[in-house]
Structure 1
Amino acid sequence: MNHRLLSRNVFCSLSLTLIMIFSTSLAMAQHDVRGLVTDAETEEPLQGVNIIVAGTQIGTTTNDEGRYELRAPEDDATLQFSYLGFESKEVPIEGREEINVALTPVEIVGEEMVVVGYGVQRRRDVTGSISRVDGERLSRIPTQSVDQALQGVASGLQVTASSGAPGASSVIRIRGIGTLNEASPLFVVDGMIMDNINFLNPNDIESVDVLKDASATAIYGARGANGVILITTKSGQVDRPTEFDLNYYYGWQEVARTVPVTNAREYAILANEAAENEGRSLPFDDPSEFGEGTDWQNEIFRVAPIQNLHLRVSGGTERTAYNISASYSGQEGIIYENYLDRFSFRLNNDYYLTDNLDFGHNIALVYEDYQDAPGVVGSAYRGDPTIPVFTEDGDYSPTDERASVGNPVADLDYNSNNANSRFRLSGNAYMHYSFLDHFRFRSNLGIDVDRTEGRSYSPIFFVSAIQQSEETSINVNNNFMYNILWENTVQYQQTIGDHRLDVLGGVTIEEYKSESLGGGRINVLGDDESLWYLNAADDSEGMTNFNSAGDWAMASFIGRINYTYLDRYTATVTNRVDGSSRFGRDNRYGWFPSFALGWVISDEPFFPEPAWLDQFRFRGSWGRTGNDQIGLYPATATITGNLNAVFGPDERIRFGALQTSLANPLLRWEETTQWNIGIESSFIGERLTIDADYYDRVTDDILVQVPIPGYIGVVGDPFENAAKVSNSGFELDINWQDSRAGFFYSIGANATTVKNEVLSLGRGNEEIFGGGVGVGGMLATKTVVGEPIGSFFGYKTDGIFQNEEEIEAGPLRGGEEPGDIRYLDVTGDGEITTDDRVFLGSPYPDFIFSFNVELGWRGFDLSASFTGQTGNQIYNAKKQARFGTPNFEESALDRWTGENTSDTYPRITDGGHNYQVSDFFIEDGDFLKLQNLTLGYSLGTDITEQIGLNTLRVYVSGSNLLTLTGYDGYTPEVASQSVIASGIDDAFYPFARTFNVGVNATF
Structure 2
Amino acid sequence: MPKKLLLLATNLLLSAWVMAQFSVSGTVTGSGEPLIGVSVLVVGTGSGTVTDIDGKYRITVEPGQDSLEFSYLGYQTQRIAIGSAREIDVVMTEASAVLQEVVVVGYGIQKKSDLTGAVSVVSTEELVDIPTQSLGQALQGKVSGLQIIPTSGTPGADAIFRIRGVGTLNNADPLFVVDGMILNDISFLNPRDVASVSVLKDASATAIYGARGANGVIIVTTKQGSGAGQITVSAYTGYQQVVKTIDLLNATQYATLINEADVNEGRQPRYANPEQFGTGTNWQDEIFRTAPIQNVQVGFSGGNEKSSFNLSANYFRQEGIIVGSEFDRFTTRINTTRAVKDWLQIGSNLSLVLSTSQNVNAGGILLDAYRADPITVPRDSLGNFGNTAIRGNTGNPLATIEFNDNKSQDYRAVGNVFAQAQLWKGLSFRTSFGLDFVYFRSRSFSPVFEVSANQRNEESDLNVLNTYRRNWLWENTLNYNQEFGRHRVDGVVGITSQDNFGEFLSGGRTRLIGEDPSFFYLNSGDPLTSTNGSGPSGGDWGLVSYLGRVNYSFDERYLLTVSGRVDGSSRFGENFRYGFFPSVGLGWNVSQEDFWNDGGIVSRLKLRASWGQTGNDRIPEYAYTPSVTSGVNTVFGPNEILLPGATVTSLANPDLRWEETTQTDLGVELGLFENKLLLEADVYRKVTDGVLFNAPIPDYIGAGASIRNIAAVLNRGLDMQLTWRQRGRAFSYSLGGNLSLVKNEVLQLDGSMADFFSGGLGIGGQLGTNSRAGFTAGSFWGYEIDGVFQNQEELTQFPTLGTQRPGDLRFRDQNGDGVITAAGDRVVLGSAIPDAILGLNGSLEVAGFDLSFDFTGQFGNEVINAKKMARFGAYNYETSFLDRWTGEGTSNTEPRITLAGQNIETLSTRFIEDGSYIRLRNLSLGYTLPESIASRLRLRSCRLYVSGTNLWTSQEYSGYNPEIFNGLVFDAGIDRGGIYPIAKTVNFGLDLQF
TM-score, reference length from structure 2: 0.91
After alignment, is 601-610 or 468-477 more displaced? 601-610
Q: Do structure 1's residue 134 and structure 2's residue 123 form an aligned pair?
A: yes
The correspondence for 1:597, drawn from 579, 583, 586, is 586
Q: CA deviation at 1:596?
A: 0.7
Contact 1:65 1:858 in 2 (8 A): no
Work out the CA distance in 2 between the residues paired with 1:656 and 1:683.
Answer: 73
Aligned to 2:258, what secondary structure does the other structure show? helix
> Does the CA contact (< 8 Å) of 2:588 and 2:606 recur in 1?
yes
Partner of 1:31: none
- Cα gap change, 1:88 to 1:531, in 2 (>3 Å): farther
The C-alpha deviation readout for 1:618-664, integer Å capped at 9, x for no partner, is: 01000000001122232111111222234456544432222211110
User: What displacement does 1:371 show?
Assistant: 1.1
Change (3 A) 1:319 1:87: farther
SS in 2 for 1:274: helix
Q: Confirm whether residue 174 of structure 1 aligns to residue 163 of structure 2.
A: yes
**Structure 2 unmatched runs, 5+:** 1-24, 42-48, 58-68, 80-87
Q: Say which is worse superposed, 807-816 or 863-872, in terms of deviation.
A: 807-816
Determine the C-alpha separation between the residues in 2 that align with 1:66 and 1:246: 31
Distance 2:849 2:542 in 1: 53
Q: Distance in 2 between matches of 1:457 and 1:51?
A: 68
Aligned to 1:962: 952
- Output the amino acid matched with 1:866: F
Matched, 1:920 2:919: no
Match of 2:436 in 1: 448
| 1:272-283 superposed matches below 5 A | 272-283=259-270
For 1:198 and 1:546, the matched residues in 2 are separated by: 25
Question: What secondary structure does 2:33 align onto?
Answer: coil
Structure 1 CA distance for aligned equivalents of residues 691 and 419 of structure 2: 38
Is contact 1:263-1:295 (8 Å) kept? Answer: yes
Determine the structure 2 residue equivalent to 1:526. 514
- Give the match for residue 687 of structure 2: 698
Q: In the aligned structure 2, how far is the partner of 1:734 from the partner of 1:398?
A: 57
Would the aligned equivalents of 1:961 and 1:994 in 2 still touch at CA under 8 Å? yes
Provide the residue aligned with 1:832 in structure 2.
820
Match of 1:348 among 316, 335, 339: 335
Q: Please name the residue that 1:952 is paired with.
A: 942
Instruction: Return the alpha-carbon distance in structure 2 between the equivalents of residues 102 and 606 of structure 1.
Output: 26
Paired with 1:149 and 1:724, the residues of 2 have a C-alpha distance of 33
Query: 1:168 offset after TM fit, Å?
Result: 1.4
Are residues 1:334 and 2:321 paired? yes
1:749 alignment partner in structure 2: 737
1:270 maps to which residue? 257
* Secondary structure in structure 1 of the residue aligned to 2:99: coil
1:795 alignment counterpart: 783
Residue matched to 1:991: 982
Indicate yes or no: 2:292 matched with 1:305. Answer: yes
Aligned to 1:490: 478
Deviation at 1:708, TM superposition (A): 3.0
Matched AA of 2:497: I
Shift of 1:612: 2.2
Aligned residue for 1:383?
Answer: 372
Match of 1:568 among 549, 557, 577: 557
The amino acid across from 1:935 in the alignment is L
Query: Structure 2: how far apart are the matches of 1:133 and 1:147?
Result: 12
- Cα distance in 2 for partners of 1:842, 1:63 equals 59
Within the alignment, does 1:733 sit opposite 2:724 as a pair? no
2:615 matched to which residue of 1? 626
In structure 1, which of residues 375, 397, 401 is the aligned counterpart of residue 390 of structure 2? Answer: 401
User: CA contact under 8 A between 1:801 and 1:821: conserved in structure 2?
Assistant: yes
Cα gap change, 1:943 to 1:82, in 2 (>3 Å):
farther
- Map 1:229-628 → 2, pairs under 5 A: 229-237=218-226, 240-375=227-362, 376-415=365-404, 417-549=405-537, 550-628=539-617
- Cα deviation for residue 102 of structure 1 reads 8.7
For 1:86 and 1:758, the matched residues in 2 are separated by: 47
Cα distance change, pair 589–649 in 1 and its aligned pair in 2 (3 A): same
Residues 512 and 269 of structure 1: CA distance in aligned 2, closer, same or farther (over 3 Å): same
**How far does the alpha carbon of each residue in 1:318-348 deviate from its partner, in whole angstroms, 9 at most, with x for none?**
4110000000000001001111100000000
Corresponding residue SS for 1:154: coil
Q: Any idea what SS the aligned residue of 2:771 has?
A: strand
AA matched with 1:980:
F
The offset of 1:976, in angstroms, is: 2.9
Residues 61 and 467 (structure 1), Cα distance of their counterparts in 2 relative to 1, 3 Å cut: farther
Aligned equivalents of 1:81, 1:524: Cα separation in 2: 76
Query: Partner of 1:16 in structure 2?
Result: none
1:638-649 matches, within 5 Å, as 638-648=627-637
What is the rounded CA distance, in whole Å, between the counterparts of 1:936 and 1:446 in structure 2?
Answer: 39
Is the Cα–Cα contact under 8 Å of residues 734 and 750 in structure 1 kept in the other structure?
Answer: yes
* Percent sequence identity over aligned pairs: 47
Q: Specify whether residues 985 and 105 from structure 1 end up closer, same or farther in structure 2 by C-alpha distance, changes over 3 A only.
A: same
Kindly indicate whether the alpha-carbon contact (under 8 Å) linking 2:507 and 2:530 is maintained by their aligned counterparts in 1.
no
Task: List per-residue Cα deviations over 1:677-717 (Å, max 9, x = no partner).
Answer: 00011121221100010000000011134443323222x22
TM-aligned CA deviation for residue 947 of structure 1? 1.5
- CA distance in structure 1 between the partners assigned to 2:690 and 2:403 by the alignment: 48
Provide the C-alpha distance between the structure 2 equivalents of 1:448 and 1:398, rounded to a whole number of angstroms. 48
CA distance in 2, matches of 1:551, 1:837: 42
Give RMSD over aligned pairs: 2.3
- After superposition, the C-alpha distances for 1:236-280 in whole angstroms (9 at most, x for unaligned) are 12xx21101111100100000000000000000011111111112
Tell me, yes or no, if the aligned pair for 2:695 and 2:707 is still in contact at 8 Å.
yes
Q: What letter matches 1:310 in structure 2?
A: Q
Q: Does residue 671 of structure 2 align to residue 682 of structure 1?
A: yes
Question: 1 CA distance for matches of 2:38 and 2:234?
Answer: 21
Contact 1:727–1:754 (Cα < 8 Å) also in 2: yes
State the 1:48 CA deviation.
7.8
Task: Report the secondary structure of 2:390's partner residue.
Answer: coil
Check whether the contact 2:783–2:827 (CA below 8 A) recurs between aligned residues: yes
The CA distance in 2 between the partners of 1:574 and 1:364, in whole Å, is 31
Query: Partners in 1 of 2:38 and 2:464 — Cα distance?
Result: 56
SS of residue matched to 1:393: coil
Aligned to 1:910: 899
- Residue 951 of structure 1 deviates from its aligned partner by 0.4
Q: 3-state SS of the aligned residue for 1:740?
A: coil
The amino acid of 2:930's aligned partner reads G
Query: Quick one: distance in 2 between partners of 1:679 and 1:258?
Result: 44
Q: Could you tell me how far 1:449 is from its partner in structure 2?
A: 0.4
- Distance in 2 (CA, whole Å) between partners of 1:660 and 1:934 is 55
- 1:642–1:657 CA contact under 8 A, matched in 2: yes
Deviations 1:169-222 (A, max 9, x none): 211100000001000100100000111112211110000000000000000000
Matched with 2:931 is 941
SS in 1 for 2:705: coil
Q: 1:136 Cα shift?
A: 1.4
State the 1:45 CA deviation.
4.2
> Within 2, Cα distance between the matches of 1:342 and 1:66?
46
Deviation at 1:926?
1.2
Query: Bigger radius of gyration, 1 or 2?
Result: 2
Q: Secondary structure at the match of 2:544?
A: strand
Listed as ranges, the matches of 1:785-864 within 5 Å are 785-834=773-822, 835-864=824-853
User: Quick one: structure 1 residues 932 and 41, their matched pair in 2 at CA, closer, same or farther if it must change by over 3 Å?
Assistant: closer
Structure 1 residue aligned with 2:864: 875
> What corresponds to 1:930 in structure 2?
920
Compare 470-479 and 761-770 and name the one that shifted more. 761-770
The runs of 5 or more residues in structure 1 that have no matched partner are 1-35, 53-59, 69-79, 91-99
Q: Distance in 2 between matches of 1:49 and 1:738?
A: 17
1:1002 has 2:990 as partner: no
Conservation of the 8 A alpha-carbon contact between 1:272 and 1:284: yes
